[in-house]
Structure 1
Amino acid sequence: MPNIEEFVDFDAERDIPSLENKVIFVTGGTAGLGRASVIALAEHNPAYIYFTGRNADAGKSLIAEVQKINPSVGAKFVKMDMMSLASVKQACGTDFSHDRLDILMCNAGVMFIPPGLSKDGFENHFAINHLAHAMIIQQLLPVLTKTAAMPDSDVRILSLTSTAWMAHPSNGVTFSTLRTTQEGFMGSNFRYGQSKLANIVYAAELARRYQDSKINFVSVHPGACATDLVTTISFGHRILTKLIFWWMGVSIMEVHQGRLSPLWAAAGAKKDELVNGGFYMPIGRFSDDRLDKTAKSPELAEALWTYTQDALAKF
């Protein structure tokens, strides 16, 4: 994993072109990288930005910030409980009202939260980090596909992942126990790791299945960033995380630095610079060669696709 000193030169203010007429949807937009991304994108004159979250006050605050930066940009807070697939589906159906969507940034996530199940009975990390985003993609894919068919379109779906995908269990995703809390030795690492692996595998599988849609699907690691995901985990996990980063020679970035990788993939990179289905490290580094055999396994991709579609079909 590169240190910040090795990052490809990219400046969001300088390098993101005009986003005029574009509609954007960001999950987890009220804090951390999501909030920073919404603010940065608003500076480039998109038509409208939707962003999800749970805290209505934080949503109002961000809308005010967007209006202060650029009064011409429309913004809407979409209240969404990502522990409930029914809530996710309903929010997409009732709160999204545009006839086009150009950028979908799947940013929301949890890390090392206590063992537990979602409201639908799935392991928490897998439910929020993967299944909820799979539902969002499913619900918004028709308008994304419609937009991609328009002249001069540039439609992108990016899934934020993490190098913690490497902590996945030996079989990649332990499907047989996803309806349990998956506790045990190294359980928290396995739970988070398999959910981040799922982000990578699912993005690549979407690219394969929808290769004729003219949509770019990518997974993006933003870098080790001091967001609430890191600062709110347990003391033990913070120490372990810092030790791992130290051992890997990784610098922990501030939010304004961590936002750059997803912003590059969402709007900074030229359309033909992106490898559809690719995994990217900061910034703009196509990094499929860093993935292991499990992450590239067609069998895992097929199993994840089937499990996911079966889960979503119940809602």
Structure 2
Amino acid sequence: MVRFNPEKDISDLSGKVILITGANNGLGRESLHQLAKHNPRALYLTARNRSKAETTMQEINATLPAESQSTIKFLECDLTSFDSIKKAAKQFTSEQDRLDVLLNNAGIMAVPEGQTKEGYEIQFGTNHMGHALLTKLLLPTLQKTAKTPGVEPGSVRIVNLSSAAEQFAPKPDGIKFDHLKDANSGGIGTWARYGQSKLANIHHARALAKRYPELTCVSIHPGGINTNLTSGPVASYGSWLTYPAKIVGWLFLKTVGEGAWNQTWAAVAPLAKDGQEGVKSGVFYWPVGITGKDSKLAKDDALTERLWQWTEKELAGQEI
């Protein structure tokens, strides 16, 4: 386990641009708050609701020095809509010439059956497809940043928020590729649907790490956190009766502040080198910086390739 305290262990972020999806609440908001304390050039939070985002910005800005308050910027983005994602990416690239960290934090968990605007099962479409498209559209900016003189090798990051619930993905295949446009993914339960979306987050990071060695691409499990994901439709949903011991153990062990440590560490900590603790591209981390707890399916190289090829085919032709 890596010792990490965001107050002391985040280095100066001067000149850096960071984008966090779903940063209006929960883990994303906490990550935004911690990073904002360390002088980034710009911090973008994406959300569907402008008023909620502006409330978040006001509350965080109230804790920051006056000179840091203008660094936080709102970017409207609905991850269930490709049009919204493309609009957000276009706005970002029109405003910024660099992107140092893309933190794919937003997500939904164990919700009732539904579909995104493009017809994907709602959890897979939001948690994987939405982030995959956003990442694809921002990759040129990330690559350009990584090649900028003076940028430390490996410091440009893509961090996917996954979950230990990747272990709930349907067996034996992990992802129901033939049913990803069914509202119930071929008849599997809501936790299995959530599990396959979180498994996809891991494999997406693995595939990116293989194809873009100039970037550091990782996935993380935040730990057992009590966030807004556990309220609303989830708290009242019948599938709480499934895997009760595991769910209770994973969801109610830490505060949101502690829960954001792993993704914040993955976003800004030094690379692993010379036998020292640090971030390594392509790895799935438990908090904080713990490796080796992936499921067998999460380590399946063939599944990584199949997901990448399937996703790329689905996203073909999607441009800003």
TM-score of the superposed pair, with normalisation by structure 1: 0.90
Aligned residue identity for 1:255: V
Aligned residue identity for 2:165: A
Aligned residue identity for 1:138: K
Please tell me whether residue 72 in structure 1 is matched to residue 73 in structure 2: no
Structure 1 184/136 Cα, relative in aligned 2: closer, same or farther at 3 Å?
Answer: closer
Indicate if the aligned counterparts of 2:206 and 2:283 stay in contact, CA closer than 8 A. yes
Rounded to whole Å, the distance in 1 between the matches of 2:178 and 2:186 is 15
Aligned-pair CA distance for 1:38? 0.5
Aligned to 2:275: none
Q: Deviations over 1:35-81 (max 9, x none)?
A: 11101110111111011001111111222234331333312111111
Aligned residue identity for 1:110: I
SS at match of 1:72: helix
Rounded to whole Å, the distance in 1 between the matches of 2:67 and 2:101 is 18
Give the number of aligned pairs. 303
Aligned-pair CA distance for 1:239? 5.5
TM-score of the superposed pair, with normalisation by structure 2: 0.89
Structure 1 28/249 Cα, relative in aligned 2: closer, same or farther at 3 Å?
Answer: closer
Please tell me whether residue 22 in structure 1 is matched to residue 23 in structure 2: no
Residue identity over aligned pairs, in percent, reads 38
Rounded to whole Å, the distance in 1 between the matches of 2:67 and 2:17 is 13
Rounded to whole Å, the distance in 2 between the matches of 1:207 and 1:227 is 29
SS at match of 2:67: coil
Aligned to 1:200: 202
Rounded to whole Å, the distance in 1 between the matches of 2:48 and 2:151 is 35
Indicate if the aligned counterparts of 2:176 and 2:185 stay in contact, CA closer than 8 A. no
Aligned to 1:51: 45
Please tell me whether residue 63 in structure 1 is matched to residue 84 in structure 2: no
Structure 1 109/276 Cα, relative in aligned 2: closer, same or farther at 3 Å?
Answer: same
Aligned to 2:165: 164
The residue correspondences of 1:1-315 to structure 2 (distance < 5 A) are 8-68=2-62, 69-73=64-68, 74-96=71-93, 97-150=95-148, 151-153=150-152, 154-170=155-171, 171-182=173-184, 187-211=189-213, 214-232=214-232, 233-235=234-236, 236-238=238-240, 240=242, 242-245=244-247, 252-267=253-268, 269-272=269-272, 273-285=278-290, 287=291, 289-315=292-318
Rounded to whole Å, the distance in 1 between the matches of 2:317 and 2:125 is 14
Rounded to whole Å, the distance in 1 between the matches of 2:243 and 2:38 is 35
SS at match of 2:253: coil
Rounded to whole Å, the distance in 2 between the matches of 1:72 and 1:92 is 26
Gaps of 5+ in 1: 1-6
Root-mean-square deviation over aligned CA pairs: 1.9
Runs of 4+ in structure 1 deviating by more than 3 angstroms, as ranges, are: 183-186, 234-242, 248-251
Aligned residue identity for 1:52: T
SS at match of 1:295: helix
Structure 1 185/141 Cα, relative in aligned 2: closer, same or farther at 3 Å?
Answer: closer
Aligned-pair CA distance for 1:229? 0.5
**In terms of mean alpha carbon deviation, does 54-63 or 19-28 score higher?**
54-63
